[in-house]
Amino acid sequence: MNPKKLKQLKKRAKQQATPPYIEQMQRYRTLFKDDPKILVMINNVLESDRLLAAGLPPQQLPVLQVPDHFQDELFARINQSFAIGDPAGDAEWERLSDALPKVDKLLRDFRDYVEDKYGMWAYISAPFLKDLADFVGDAPVLEVMAGNGYVSKGLRRLHPSQTIYTTDSKAWTHEANNQTGRQPVTAIEPLDAISAFKKYADQVKYIIMAWSPDKLTIDWELLQAIRASGTNITLICIGEKYGATGSKQFWNHADYQSGEAVEQLNRHYRPFDLIHDQVYLIH
């Protein structure tokens, strides 16, 4: 058999053998029902999934990572619940301690799940959307690289009469197993960032750019176009500086604003995993 074909079949078999992500989390919710520190993280994941599936913005997340000393706390709890030498206590310890690294990995993988299932890369929560809506007010907005349109939809829900131009090149739709652009939650005009800017530059006050693709220079090209136009437009950028998003050229040459407005925009935009993205105001 062709080695590539064999690899694909093995990967498919592995995926079929693994229960769906949410099914696993529901099982671990039952398993760790007596451990609030784990339970609260699992419940947050399940509630976020429920809201996204219903077409609603999810809630803000805590850090999704098993605390460093939790295993010691688990051992102490089991010792308090069972007599020394009780086989049931030993079995409980073995069952939960064996599950702990597995649930920790699932929690850390939540971003991957949301990307794969819903095509949401920047985690756009309801509290953050309220902060963003308060910041832009009723001013006209252009969203570029909108993906499935979660930011624009959230703003429209809060400001139904606001002018919001939602655009994306839709290049992602050509990639297999990528839901970005395949499940739009609002109407999206098929324009790349530069074309969208040229079309709407004289009609907007803010441009929103969330999670520009890693290492592609489209973000830097857009920033140069904004500067060359002479327009007084603020770029609201959501990303991880020198990390998972955007180009080195963009991060090197951006002029970053600071102050209360930036702090307010990041009040509810908090890292929940190893990616430390945040909101930047850029000229």
The string of DSSP codes covering 246-266 is S-HHHHHH--B--SHHHHHHT
Report the mean per-residue pLDDT for the chain. Answer: 92
Distance from the Cα of residue 110 to its chain's centroid: 9
Predicted confidence band at 283 (pLDDT cuts at 50, 70, 90)? confident
Residue 57 DSSP symbol:
P
> Based on the domain organization, do 170 and 220 belong to the same domain?
yes
Provide the pLDDT for residue 85: 86
**Residue 176 to residues 24, 47, 244: CA-CA distances in angstroms?**
25, 28, 21
> Can you tell me the distance from the alpha carbon of 267 to that of 246, in angstroms, rounded to the nearest whole number?
22
Residue type, 153: K
> Can you tell me the distance from the alpha carbon of 65 to that of 87, in angstroms, rounded to the nearest whole number?
30
Nearest to 30 by CA among 22, 39, 21: 39
207 pLDDT above the threshold of 80: yes
Q: What is the pLDDT of residues 93-113, one digit of tens each?
A: 999 999 999 999 999 999 999
> Based on the domain organization, do 155 and 269 belong to the same domain?
yes
Q: Which two tokens stand for residue 146?
A: 């909108």
> Based on the domain organization, do 142 and 225 belong to the same domain?
yes
Is residue 117 one of the residues assigned to a domain?
no
SS3 245: coil
> Based on the domain organization, do 30 and 132 belong to the same domain?
no
Q: Give the count of domains, the chain.
A: 2
> Based on the domain organization, do 54 and 147 belong to the same domain?
no
Predicted confidence band at 2 (pLDDT cuts at 50, 70, 90)? very low
**Strand 164-168 with 234-239, pairing:** unpaired
177 pLDDT above the threshold of 60: no
What is the CATH classification number for the domain harbouring 201?
3.40.50.150
Nearest to 212 by CA among 139, 125, 277, 264: 277
> Can you tell me the distance from the alpha carbon of 40 to that of 25, in angstroms, rounded to the nearest whole number?
12
Q: Which two tokens stand for residue 22?
A: 């949410």
> Can you tell me the distance from the alpha carbon of 89 to that of 78, in angstroms, rounded to the nearest whole number?
6
Is residue 95 one of the residues assigned to a domain?
yes
Of the chain, the end-to-end C-alpha distance in Å amounts to 55
Is residue 73 one of the residues assigned to a domain?
yes
**Beta bridge partners of residue 281, listed in sequence order:** 236
> Based on the domain organization, do 34 and 60 belong to the same domain?
yes
Q: What is the pLDDT of residues 13-70, one digit of tens each?
A: 555 568 999 999 999 999 999 999 999 999 999 999 999 999 999 999 999 999 999 9
> Can you tell me the distance from the alpha carbon of 249 to that of 233, in angstroms, rounded to the nearest whole number?
20
Is residue 115 one of the residues assigned to a domain?
no
Provide the pLDDT for residue 170: 85
Provide the pLDDT for residue 18: 81
Among the listed ranges 116-130, 158-172, 177-191, which one has the minimum average pLDDT value? 177-191
> Based on the domain organization, do 138 and 95 belong to the same domain?
no
> Based on the domain organization, do 162 and 67 belong to the same domain?
no
Is residue 13 one of the residues assigned to a domain?
yes
Q: What is the pLDDT of residues 131-176, one digit of tens each?
A: 999 999 999 999 999 999 999 999 999 999 999 999 999 876 555 4
> Based on the domain organization, do 143 and 276 belong to the same domain?
yes
Is residue 119 one of the residues assigned to a domain?
no
Nearest to 228 by CA among 258, 198, 206: 198
> Based on the domain organization, do 61 and 157 belong to the same domain?
no
| Cβ 153 vs Cβ 60: under 8 Å | no
Percent of the chain with pLDDT over 90: 87
Work out the average pLDDT over 215-237: 97
Sign of CA dihedral 198, 129, 149, 244: positive
Is residue 89 one of the residues assigned to a domain?
yes
Q: What residues make up the domain containing 20?
A: 3-108
Nearest to 159 by CA among 134, 142, 184: 134
Residue 174 DSSP symbol:
G
Predicted confidence band at 178 (pLDDT cuts at 50, 70, 90)? low
User: Which residues are CB-neighbours of 69 under 8 A, at least 6 positions away?
Assistant: none
| Cβ 217 vs Cβ 249: under 8 Å | yes
Strand order in the sheet with 234-239: 189-190, 164-168, 141-144, 206-210, 234-239, 278-282
> Based on the domain organization, do 13 and 48 belong to the same domain?
yes
Q: Which two tokens stand for residue 238?
A: 């959501």
Is residue 120 one of the residues assigned to a domain?
no
